[in-house]
C-alpha cells in the first residue's frame, strides 16, 4: 500500500515517530482506545492513509474535522508531504488538549498543518478541496459540515463502519449527493466519497 501511496522511507519514519507520540500522549489523554494500541498500524495508521488513495493527488486544502488523535489528519499530512504535494492541511478539533497534541505532533514532524481549536459550525467556510472526518457523527450531520466547508468541485471522504448503508439511506432523506463507495474485503465498513452535496428538495 505504501508504494501505491508514494510514501518512501522518510514518510514511514515520520509515521513511526507519530505512533510513538500517540502512545505517549494516550497515557495522559484519551486519543484512541488503549485496547487498539497493539493494532495501531492496521486500525489507525493504515486506515487513515487509505483515504489518500481515494483523494485527488495534490489538493490545495484538506480539512479534517474532529481531528482528535490525528487520524486521519496527521497521517494524511505525512502521506501528502512524502508525495511532494504542497497541500495545506487544516485540522479542526474543539478539545483543547487534543488540539495541543495535534500542534505538537505537527511541529515535531515538521508538517504543513494548521490546527483550529474551534467547532466546525463556528468556522468561516474553508473552501477545502477535500473534507474528511473519522468517527465524528452520522453521515447526515457530516453532509451539513461538508457542504459548508467544501470548495466547488471538492470531495468529502468519510470512513464508515458496517452500518454505512443505513447511514447513506438516512442522509439521502435530507441531502442529494454523488456517491462512490470504496469497500475492502478485510473490513466490514467502507470509505464514502461524496461530491455535489446539496439539500434535498422538499
Contacts of 80 (CB under 8 A, 6+ apart): 52, 58, 59, 62, 87, 89
d(CA 196, CA 43) in angstroms, rounded, equals 30
Q: Is 121 marked as binding a ligand?
A: yes
**Residue 202's pLDDT is what?**
52
For the chain, helix (H) and strand (E) counts, in that order, are: 8, 7
If one counts the domains in the chain, the total is: 1
Q: Is 18 marked as binding a ligand?
A: no
**Residue 168's pLDDT is what?**
97
Residue ranges in the chain assigned as alpha helix (H): 2-5, 9-26, 40, 47-49, 73-83, 96-109, 139-149, 164-171
Q: Which structural domain range is residue 187 located in?
A: 2-199
Q: Is 172 marked as binding a ligand?
A: no
Q: Is 144 marked as binding a ligand?
A: no
d(CA 193, CA 159) in angstroms, rounded, equals 9
d(CA 21, CA 136) in angstroms, rounded, equals 22
Q: How does pLDDT run along the chain (202 residues), one tens digit per residue?
A: 677 778 888 999 999 999 999 999 998 898 888 888 888 888 889 999 999 999 998 899 999 999 989 999 999 999 999 999 999 999 999 999 999 999 999 999 999 999 999 888 889 999 999 999 998 899 999 999 999 999 999 999 999 999 999 999 999 999 999 999 998 777 788 999 999 999 987 5
For residue 177, give the CATH number of its domain: 3.40.50.150
Q: Is 17 marked as binding a ligand?
A: no
Residue pointed to by grid coordinates 490545495: 60
**Residue 7's pLDDT is what?**
87
Radius of gyration of the chain measured on its C-alpha atoms: 16
d(CA 34, CA 13) in angstroms, rounded, equals 23
Amino acid at each position: 500500500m505504501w508504494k501505491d501511496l508514494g510514501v518512501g522511507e522518510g514518510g514511514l519514519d515520520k509515521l513511526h515517530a507519530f505512533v510513538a507520540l500517540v502512545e505517549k500522549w494516550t497515557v495522559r489523554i484519551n486519543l484512541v482506545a488503549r485496547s487498539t494500541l497493539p493494532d495501531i498500524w492496521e486500525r489507525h495508521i493504515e486506515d487513515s492513509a487509505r483515504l489518500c488513495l481515494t483523494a485527488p493527488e495534490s489538493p490545495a486544502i484538506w480539512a479534517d474535522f474532529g481531528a482528535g488523535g490525528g487520524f486521519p489528519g496527521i497521517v494524511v499530512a505525512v502521506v501528502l508531504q512524502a508525495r511532494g504535494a504542497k497541500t495545506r492541511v487544516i485540522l479542526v478539533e474543539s478539545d483543547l488538549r487534543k488540539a495541543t497534541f495535534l500542534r505538537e505532533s505537527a511541529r515535531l514532524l515538521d508538517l504543513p498543518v494548521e490546527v483550529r481549536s474551534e467547532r466546525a459550525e463556528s468556522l468561516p467556510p474553508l473552501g477545502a478541496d477535500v473534507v474528511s472526518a473519522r468517527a465524528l457523527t452520522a453521515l447526515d450531520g457530516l453532509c451539513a459540515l461538508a457542504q459548508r466547508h467544501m470548495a466547488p468541485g471538492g470531495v468529502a471522504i468519510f470512513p464508515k463502519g458496517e452500518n454505512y448503508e443505513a447511514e447513506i439511506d438516512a442522509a439521502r432523506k435530507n441531502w442529494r449527493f454523488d456517491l462512490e463507495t470504496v469497500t475492502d474485503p478485510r473490513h466490514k465498513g467502507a470509505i464514502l466519497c461524496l461530491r455535489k452535496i446539496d439539500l434535498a428538495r422538499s
